[in-house]
Chains A and B, each alone.
Chain A
Amino acid sequence: MKTFIQQKQCDATLLDDELIIVDTRYHTITKLNHVGGFCWSLLSEPLTIDFLVNAVKQKYDIEDSQQLKVQQDLERFLSELMNCGLVNHAS
């Protein structure tokens, strides 16, 4: 199964409960909300989408009936971060 991991050449800092990520290679800045920041912090090691879905459900107390919605949101989130060069496939 595919795993994802943070791009290591980024600096991240928390400001007002939002995570600011600066990619020092391309001088880009990305702002993530609390949920995005939580997922980013987990991605310091290779993880599957299924792992992230379960982690988000647990952290934010989301019911099983919302599983598909969470999975779709995370797929879109990871796709956007990959487009920004902030996340890579680990395998």
Chain B
Amino acid sequence: MRRFPAKIGEFIFHMHCKNTTFTEFFHTYFMSHNTVQNEIPDITLTIKDSYGIPFVNYDVSTTREPDHIIYKRADYLISIDNTFEKAEISAYNELALKHALMNLFSAFIVHRNWGLLIHSSCVVDNEGAHLFSGHSGAGKSTVAMLSNPRDLLSDEATIVKITENKITIFDSPFRSDSKPLGEKIQSYPLKSIQFLNQAMLNQRILINQSDAFIQIIDKVFYWPNDSKDMKSIFSMLKQLVTLVPIYDLHFKKDNTFWEMIS
């Protein structure tokens, strides 16, 4: 049994692997830090391989049992106890494991009413975080690439902590084309959100809170299991759109769009 302690957001995850299939995955995305090794875990995960079939689609079924919540996809199975202190993931391959961990983490932070996992990239500029979202193919990865040498807090799923008066972004291990900042683990206040549209000219237009709310709710990674959680998401999103300015960003494919943000 291999043990991989990791800090995700503000939480300690102790992940125990039954075998070595996913060792490289954990070394790449969940580098453990000495300070984390001895901390009491918020949740303990057991991870198994050889489950199911290769990726078919994103359809996840959710079942509530007396003591557990079960999330099932063709290529992964998650069982979480009702206290969210223990969970078990069985996955077909690394992609399935990554998506299962995102599923679990999203459920965990909503259950704690701590924050949301949002489908987006997020870039650090001048000690603040700027989040970029949009429909599939809108340019989240392109913006991340064009933002070099700025630090990337995420390129696929952004970890957003939401409190009454502050929105904070944490380094995300849920990546597609980049790696976590690792030892530099830091958090930054969220300064702006952009919905992306590729264009011939750069333009940044402030959008009203109600339209922003409707656009961003669609970008939250969440697999419904409880109407109480929906109320919690609703409340956190309201905080988000109230505290952070949200824009439509029309951008051409070079780094000049940063002149409109910085």
A residues adjacent to B (C-beta < 8 A) = 9, 11, 13, 15-16, 18, 20, 22, 24-25, 27, 29, 31
Contacts and interface: CB of A to CB of B under 8 A. Distances in A.
Give the interface SS of chain A, mostly helix, strand, loop or mixed: strand
A31 B227 contact: no
Contacts of B227: 9, 24-25
B189 to A, nearest CB: 22
Given A16-B210, A20-B213, A27 B234 contact: no
B208 to A, nearest CB: 4
Interface size class of B (residues with CB under 8 A): 10 to 19
Interface in B214-239: 214, 217, 224, 227, 230-231, 234, 238
A55 to B, nearest CB: 23
Given A13-B234, A18-B208, A29-B217, 5 more contacts: A15-B208, A15-B213, A24-B230, A27-B230, A31-B214
A15 B235 CA distance: 12
B231 A24 contact: yes
A27 B231 contact: no
25 contacts: A9-B227, A11-B230, A11-B231, A13-B234, A13-B238, A15-B208, A15-B210, A15-B213, A15-B238, A15-B242, A16-B209, A18-B208, A18-B210, A20-B210, A20-B213, A20-B214, A22-B230, A22-B234, A24-B230, A24-B231, A24-B234, A25-B227, A27-B230, A29-B214, A31-B214
Nearest to A32: B210
B241 interface: yes
A80 B208 CA distance: 24
A72 to B, nearest CB: 26
Contacts, number: 35
B213 to A, nearest CB: 6
Interface in B122-176: none
Contacts of B242: 15
A25 B227 CA distance: 7
Contacts of B238: 13, 15
A68 B81 CA distance: 58
Contacts of A20: 210, 213-214
Contacts of B224: 27
Contacts of B209: 15-16
B241 to A, nearest CB: 7
Nearest to A18: B210
Contacts of A24: 227, 230-231, 234
B140 to A, nearest CB: 22
A18 B214 CA distance: 12
B209 to A, nearest CB: 4
Contacts of B210: 15-16, 18, 20, 31
Contacts of B241: 15
Interface string B190-215: 00000000000000000011100110
A11 B234 contact: yes
B243 to A, nearest CB: 12
A7 to B, nearest CB: 13
A82 B213 CA distance: 23
